[in-house]
Amino acid sequence: MSLGPAARRRVALYGGAAVFAALALWAIPAVLSRLMPGVPVRQMDVEADAAMQTEAVKLLRDYVRIDTSNPPGLTRPAIEFLARILDCEGIPVTVTGADPERPILVARLKGRTSEGALALYGHADVVPAGDLATWKKPPFAAERGDGSAHDHLYGRGTLDMKGQTIANVLALASLVRAGIVPLRDIVFVVESGEETYDESLGMEWLLDHRPDLLLGVTDVFNEGGVNEVKTQRIERFGIEVMQKAILSVDVLSKERKPLEDFGAFLKAEEANTPIRLVPAVREFLRFIAPSRSDVWGRRMMGDAEKLGPGTEFWQYVPEVYRSLLKDSIYLGAIEKDAEGFSGRLVMTFLPGSPVAAARARVDGWMRDFKLHLHVVIATADCVPSPAEGRAYQAVADVFGLDPDHAPVGPYILSSQYTSSEGLRARGLRAYGVSPFAVSIYDAMTIHHENERISLPFFVDGIERMRRILFEFATAP
């Protein structure tokens, strides 16, 4: 059957359209792949192989291999190891402290002025490794993992916090090697008693007994920074500016019933504790809530005081927010031992709630319930550091220009403790700064078996810390 002119035109029109559509479907992916950037996928094994040859990883492995478990916390070999590195760079070192086997290292890179000096602060001690049989690699061998973990370095202290100490050492050395005289002094301090909360082995001892070694220091970079990671990228750079104060005691009783009654009393006390949205927490919520797309943080940025205990809203609020909006009281599980029963009471406090006053309340409760206590930890009062100043701005500026393009802001720790708390109470501005990308899976190994750090992320962090120190040293 022959087609008329009109039919032939329709076939030509629609047939051509069909051919064009088929060609378009075939071509679109190729065109889009050129117009839209691809998702970068890092070859972590290849990067880890290269990292093993770097100065940074070699130093980290040597440092991790020095067993500084606390207790007993005999850190002198580690302090001497760091002192040798600094001495080779021509940076004067002082080793001091109340205990010669657990000394404090202080080194100062002189700048044009000592006013507004920055202290890079860390600790040499680590928590004990525990059951060695649970470790995939020996905790003080600093060996790479196997299989899918081959891009990681295993070892106690890789994250907490020997890795960060090596980053600080090399950042300081990089200034010397580049011939840069900082605008302000930079002081490097390593203590020996952080894991057992021993203030006599850290910067607080220096403030009391050797203030000359901290002359001019106004700001401190310590552990405690939180960089939230998804896959291979940092999604948020968190600069820690505050942590709640902590009073923790073991409550002791010969019988179980008084402890059970005390626990019921504490639940009522907790329920009646009022909401307080302090300025530092408000800024933290402004930083994290929008990007997390949750209703809790957004609502609490406004009328948090109207959303507290007794409201329908409060029962659905995640604990991560509850703990930031009020002083908290918690009694752990009651356990039996040879001498009776015990439960750990943990209280955390926002700014304006003195720890000494809380201790007095606890002493009164002990008398009322005929219980006894053993103090586990009593920190200094909660004092936030302002998200401002030359040191804070140096970190914010460098993180803000990071290739991961993640937002940067203040972070708060609600239940963790670092030695920054005591320094803030003494008037220093202390910031938790981490240069590393640490996944949640790696973070969970801190203080547990199989502590490990990603070698590519470690090398990235070495460079970030170098840029931070260059920024602080040179920016007016």
**What digits encode the pLDDT tens for the residues 414-458?**
878 899 999 999 999 999 999 999 999 999 999 999 999 999 999
Please report, to the nearest 10 degrees, the dihedral formed by the alpha carbons of residues 152, 154, 159, 160 taken in order: 180
User: Mean pLDDT over residues 200-220, rounded?
Assistant: 97
Query: In percent, how much of the chain has pLDDT > 70?
Result: 88
Amino acid 300: pLDDT:
65
Domain(s) labelled CATH 3.30.70 in the chain stretch across 245-378
CATH of domain 45-243+384-474: 3.40.630.10
Amino acid 285: pLDDT:
84
User: Does the pLDDT of residue 376 top 70, yes or no?
Assistant: yes
Please report, to the nearest 10 degrees, the dihedral formed by the alpha carbons of residues 187, 188, 194, 197 taken in order: -20
Report d(CA 106, CA 86) in Å as an integer: 10
Report d(CA 123, CA 476) in Å as an integer: 30
User: Does the pLDDT of residue 14 top 60, yes or no?
Assistant: no
Amino acid 302: pLDDT:
65
Amino acid 309: pLDDT:
73
- For residue 286, give every residue at least 6 positions away whose Cβ sits within 8 Å of its Cβ, in sequence order, or none: 301, 409
- For residue 158, give every residue at least 6 positions away whose Cβ sits within 8 Å of its Cβ, in sequence order, or none: 60, 64, 142, 451, 452, 453
User: Mean pLDDT over residues 451-470, rounded?
Assistant: 98
Q: Looking at per-residue confidence, does 143 or 42 come out higher?
A: 143
Q: Where does the pLDDT of residue 322 fall: very low under 50, low under 70, confident under 90, or very high at 90 and above?
A: confident
Amino acid 232: pLDDT:
87
- For residue 315, give every residue at least 6 positions away whose Cβ sits within 8 Å of its Cβ, in sequence order, or none: none
pLDDT tens per residue, range 96-155: 999 999 999 999 999 999 999 999 999 999 999 999 999 999 999 999 999 999 999 999
Amino acid 180: pLDDT:
97
User: Does the pLDDT of residue 475 top 70, yes or no?
Assistant: yes
Return the CATH architecture of domain 245-378: 2-Layer Sandwich (3.30)
User: Does the pLDDT of residue 313 top 90, yes or no?
Assistant: no
Report d(CA 224, CA 253) in Å as an integer: 36
Q: Looking at per-residue confidence, does 27 or 321 come out higher?
A: 321
Domain(s) labelled CATH 3.40.630.10 in the chain stretch across 45-243+384-474
User: Mean pLDDT over residues 386-393, rounded?
Assistant: 97
Position 141, amino acid: A
| Placement of tokens 């920074």 in the chain | 225
User: Mean pLDDT over residues 314-321, rounded?
Assistant: 73
DSSP classification of residue 126: B
Whole-angstrom distance between the N-terminal and C-terminal Cα of the chain?
88
Q: Where does the pLDDT of residue 229 fall: very low under 50, low under 70, confident under 90, or very high at 90 and above?
A: very high
Residue 392 burial (CB count, 10 A): 21
Amino acid 298: pLDDT:
66
Report d(CA 370, CA 386) in Å as an integer: 43
Amino acid 15: pLDDT:
40
**Of the candidates 361, 380, 342, 357, the residue with the CA atom closest to the CA atom of residue 246:** 380
User: Does the pLDDT of residue 25 top 60, yes or no?
Assistant: no
Q: Where does the pLDDT of residue 290 fall: very low under 50, low under 70, confident under 90, or very high at 90 and above?
A: low
